[in-house]
C-alpha cells in the first residue's frame, strides 16, 4: 500500500516551499497557468477516474481507455498520461489479487537485462517476492546501444559493441579494408587523432567496424539495425566505435571521422543522489504487452505495430484464453511499458513522502574510492523518484511517451508560461534549498557525469570528477523550450487540476508530469512528426542527454519503437 503518514502537499504554490531544517524543497508549480487545458479537465473529471467515482485517499484509479482515446491535441494526451500514472501507482483493487500497487501485481512483468545472447525475458511478478533492481538500464539509442553526446551539436551517437583482435585489443578497418589492432593513439599537428597499430605505425584511413570479418549469427543490435534501416530511422554516421586508452578515449565512425564527445560525457553514466544512493531502475510491462508479444511469435514480423483498436484487443484476449491466461485485467489500457527510477530511502529527509518498495540491489566494495567493485546484493527500501509511462492508444501505434518526477527531485531552469486571464509569467531558476539531485544553491556545472560503469561493471570516476553526486537541473522544465509559454502552460494547467484534486495526504500528489510526446496522426517519427512536449526528458533517466526528443532513440511506429518488445522471448 502507499504510505500516507505525511503528505504535506496540500496546495500548489507559485514559489518554492521554504526549507525547514533538512526537509526538501519542492518545485514551483504556478496555479494561474492559462490555456485550453485549464478548462478541458475538471476536478469532477478526475473524480471520475476513481473506481468509486469520488476522489479518495489512496483510492484505486481506473486506467484511461486507450481504445476510446479521443486523440484531440494536446490536452487529451496529457490527461491520458496523468490518469495512467495514477492507475499504475494505485493500491491494487481486489480483482488484481493483491500485490501492493497496480504496477507491482501479477498483471505486470519485469523485463530482464539482456542475457549472453542478447535475449531479454519476461519475469512474472509474485506477491510477497522482493524484486531485483539494477543500474544498467540508462539511456540507450535507437539500436538499444549505449549513447554519448557529440560536442557542440549535442547529437546522440551510439557506441557499437567492440570488435576485438587476437590480443584483446580493438580492431578497426584500414584504407585497404584490412582489420587492424589498435594499440595507442597520438594527436596530429592539427589535433586530429592518429591511431597506431601494435608496431607503433599509423593506421592509414581508419574507420570503425560494424561487425567482424568472421560472420556469425547477427547480434541483437544488427537485427535491430536491419529493422530500423528499413524504416529509414538510422543515421549510420551516428554509429561509432569507442577506443579506450587508459583514462582517455577516441570515437571513430564508420566513415573514418573522429567525432568529439561533449565535455564530461561518457557511455554507461551512473547517477548518484545527494544522499549517496545510486539510482536503480525497473523496466515493467503489462499483460497485454506480454500476451501480444507471445501472440505475434518469433521473430516479430517486419512492420508489426502495437494494438490500437478494439479488434486488436479482442485478438489478444482470445489468444490469452487459448493459453490459459484469461481473463485479461483492464485490457482497455492496451500495451503499457513503464520505466521507473529509484533511490535508497535511507538518508532522504522526507522519505515518507515518496512511493516506496523493498528491493534487492547490487552492492560494491568501496575501499578504493576510484574503483567500486561489485560484491553482492542487499535488500533495502527504495523511494521512487521518476517514471516513464508509455502506451499505445487508438491512432497511435508509436505510443504516447509521458514522464513524471518527484517534486523534490531537482530545480528547474527558468521558463515562461501563459497566465490566466492574460499575460505571461516567468519562473526564474532557483537552486536554493535541499534537493534529491542538486546541492543547495548550486551554480553548476549542471548535468555532468561524475562516474560510469566500465566493461567489468565496476563504477569508476570520469575525470576530473570523483565518484560523487552530480548537480542536476531540469533544462527543459516542461519538455519544451523555456520560452514556449503556451506549451508550458498546457502541461502546468493539467498538473494543477490533477494534483489539486487529489487528497493532500495522497503520495501521488507529490509527483508531477513534465510532459508527453507523440507523432502527428501516429506517423513514423521523421524529423518533424514529433509533437507535444517534443524536447522531453526525465532528469533521473535522460539526465545527461536532456533537450532531445524521445523518438530520436525510439524511432519507429512499429513495435521496434520499444527497445524490449522484439528482443524479449515470448512466454509461450
- Comparing 232 with 453, which gets the higher pLDDT? 453
Q: d(Cα 83, Cα 135) in Å, to the nearest integer?
A: 28
Q: What's the pLDDT at 15?
A: 30
Q: What's the pLDDT at 230?
A: 73
| Secondary structure string (H, E, C) spanning 335-360 | CEEEEEEEEECCCCCCHHHCCEEEEE
Contact 137, 113 (CB under 8 A): yes
The model carries a pTM of 0.85
Contact 283, 110 (CB under 8 A): yes
CB atoms within 10 A of CB 236: 12
Q: What's the pLDDT at 545?
A: 85
Tell me: pLDDT of 128 over 70.
Answer: yes
**Model confidence at 138, in pLDDT bands (50, 70, 90)?**
low
Q: What's the pLDDT at 264?
A: 57
Bond from prior residue into 299 cis (ω within 30 degrees of 0): yes
Q: d(Cα 100, Cα 126) in Å, to the nearest integer?
A: 11
Domain range list for the chain: 37-138+270-561, 147-263
Cell numbers for 228: 530500423
Q: What's the pLDDT at 418?
A: 97
How many percent of the chain have pLDDT more than 90?
A: 72
Phi-psi region of 281 (alpha: psi -120 to 50; beta: other; left: phi over 0): beta
- Comparing 230 with 311, which gets the higher pLDDT? 311
Q: d(Cα 438, Cα 443) in Å, to the nearest integer?
A: 10
* pLDDT average, residue stretch 418-434: 96
Q: What is the mean pLDDT of the chain?
A: 90
Query: For 397-425, how does the pLDDT look when each residue is reduced to its tens digit (9 = 90+)?
Result: 999 999 999 999 999 999 999 999 999 99
Tell me: pLDDT of 475 over 70.
Answer: yes
- Comparing 196 with 145, which gets the higher pLDDT? 196
- Comparing 224 with 506, which gets the higher pLDDT? 506
DSSP 413: -
Find all residues with CB under 8 Å of 154, minimum gap 6, and list them. 262, 547, 548
Contact 407, 9 (CB under 8 A): yes
With CA atoms as reference, report the closest residue to 413 among 462, 479, 508, 351: 479
Q: What's the pLDDT at 77?
A: 98
Query: For 336-393, how does the pLDDT look when each residue is reduced to its tens digit (9 = 90+)?
Result: 999 999 999 999 999 999 999 999 999 999 999 999 999 989 999 999 999 999 999 9
3-state helix, strand, coil in the chain (%, to 5): 20, 25, 55
Q: d(Cα 306, Cα 564) in Å, to the nearest integer?
A: 13
Tell me: pLDDT of 253 over 70.
Answer: yes
- Comparing 152 with 453, which gets the higher pLDDT? 453
Q: What's the pLDDT at 263?
A: 59
Tell me the longest C-alpha to C-alpha distance in the chain.
Answer: 76
Amino acid at each position: 500500500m502507499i504510505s500516507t503518514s505525511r503528505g504535506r502537499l496540500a496546495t500548489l504554490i507559485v514559489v518554492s516551499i521554504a526549507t525547514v531544517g533538512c526537509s526538501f524543497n519542492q518545485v514551483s508549480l504556478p496555479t494561474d497557468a492559462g490555456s485550453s487545458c485549464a478548462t478541458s479537465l475538471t476536478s469532477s473529471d478526475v473524480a471520475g477516474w476513481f473506481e468509486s467515482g469520488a476522489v479518495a485517499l489512496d483510492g484505486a484509479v481506473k486506467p484511461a481507455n486507450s481504445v476510446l482515446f479521443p486523440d484531440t491535441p494536446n490536452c487529451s494526451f496529457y490527461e491520458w498520461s496523468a490518469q495512467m500514472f495514477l492507475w499504475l501507482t494505485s493500491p491494487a483493487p481486489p480483482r488484481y489479487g493483491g500485490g501492493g500497487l497496480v504496477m507491482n501485481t501479477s498483471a505486470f512483468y519485469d523485463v530482464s537485462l539482456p542475457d549472453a545472447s542478447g535475449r531479454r525475458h519476461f519475469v512474472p511478478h509474485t506477491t510477497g517476492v522482493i524484486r531485483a533492481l539494477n543500474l544498467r538500464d540508462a539511456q540507450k539509442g535507437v539500436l538499444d546501444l549505449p549513447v554519448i553526446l557529440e560536442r557542440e551539436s549535442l547529437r546522440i551517437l551510439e557506441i557499437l559493441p567492440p570488435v576485438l583482435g587476437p590480443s584483446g585489443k580493438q580492431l578497426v578497418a584500414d584504407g585497404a579494408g584490412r582489420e587492424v589492432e589498435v594499440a595507442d593513439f597520438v594527436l596530429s599537428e592539427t589535433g586530429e587523432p592518429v591511431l597506431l597499430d601494435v608496431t607503433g605505425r599509423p593506421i592509414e584511413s581508419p574507420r570503425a567496424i560494424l561487425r567482424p570479418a568472421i560472420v556469425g549469427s547477427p547480434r541483437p543490435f544488427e537485427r535491430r539495425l536491419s529493422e530500423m534501416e528499413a524504416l529509414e530511422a538510422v543515421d549510420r554516421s551516428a554509429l561509432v566505435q569507442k577506443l579506450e586508452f587508459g583514462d582517455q578515449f577516441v570515437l571513430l565512425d564508420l566513415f573514418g571521422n573522429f567525432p568529439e564527445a561533449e565535455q564530461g560525457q561518457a557511455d554507461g553514466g551512473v547517477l548518484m543522489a545527494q544522499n549517496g544512493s545510486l539510482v536503480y531502475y525497473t523496466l515493467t510491462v503489462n499483460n497485454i504487452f506480454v500476451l501480444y508479444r507471445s501472440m505475434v511469435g518469433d521473430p516479430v514480423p517486419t512492420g508489426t505495430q502495437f494494438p490500437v483498436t478494439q479488434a486488436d484487443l479482442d485478438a489478444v484476449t482470445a489468444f490469452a484464453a487459448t493459453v490459459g491466461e484469461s481473463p485479461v485485467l483492464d485490457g482497455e489500457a492496451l500495451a503499457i511499458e513503464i520505466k521507473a527510477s529509484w533511490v535508497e530511502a535511507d538518508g532522504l529527509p522526507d522519505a515518507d513522502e515518496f512511493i516506496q518498495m523493498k528491493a534487492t540491489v547490487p552492492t560494491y566494495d568501496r575501499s578504493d574510492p576510484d574503483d567500486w567493485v561489485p560484491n553482492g546484493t542487499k535488500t533495502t527500501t527504495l523511494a521512487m523518484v521518476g517514471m516513464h509511462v508509455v502506451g499505445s492508444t487508438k491512432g497511435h501505434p508509436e505510443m504516447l511517451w509521458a514522464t513524471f518526477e518527484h517534486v523534490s527531485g531537482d530545480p528547474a531552469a527558468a521558463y515562461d508560461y501563459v497566465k490566466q486571464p492574460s499575460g505571461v509569467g516567468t519562473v526564474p531558476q532557483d537552486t536554493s534549498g535541499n534537493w534529491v539531485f542538486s546541492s543547495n544553491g548550486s551554480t553548476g556545472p549542471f548535468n555532468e557525469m561524475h562516474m560510469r560503469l566500465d566493461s567489468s561493471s565496476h563504477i569508476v570516476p570520469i575525470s576530473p570528477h570523483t565518484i560523487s553526486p552530480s548537480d542536476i537541473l531540469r533544462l527543459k522544465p516542461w519538455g519544451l523550450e523555456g520560452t514556449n509559454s503556451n506549451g508550458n502552460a498546457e502541461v502546468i494547467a493539467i498538473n494543477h487540476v490533477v494534483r489539486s484534486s487529489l487528497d493532500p495526504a495522497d503520495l501521488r500528489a507529490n509527483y508531477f508530469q513534465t510532459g508527453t510526446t507523440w507523432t502527428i496522426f501516429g506517423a513514423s517519427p521523421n524529423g518533424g512528426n514529433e509533437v507535444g512536449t517534443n524536447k522531453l526528458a526525465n532528469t533521473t533517466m535522460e539526465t545527461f542527454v536532456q533537450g532531445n526528443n524521445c523518438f530520436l532513440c525510439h524511432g519507429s511506429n512499429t513495435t521496434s519503437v520499444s527497445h524490449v518488445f522484439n528482443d524479449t522471448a515470448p512466454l509461450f
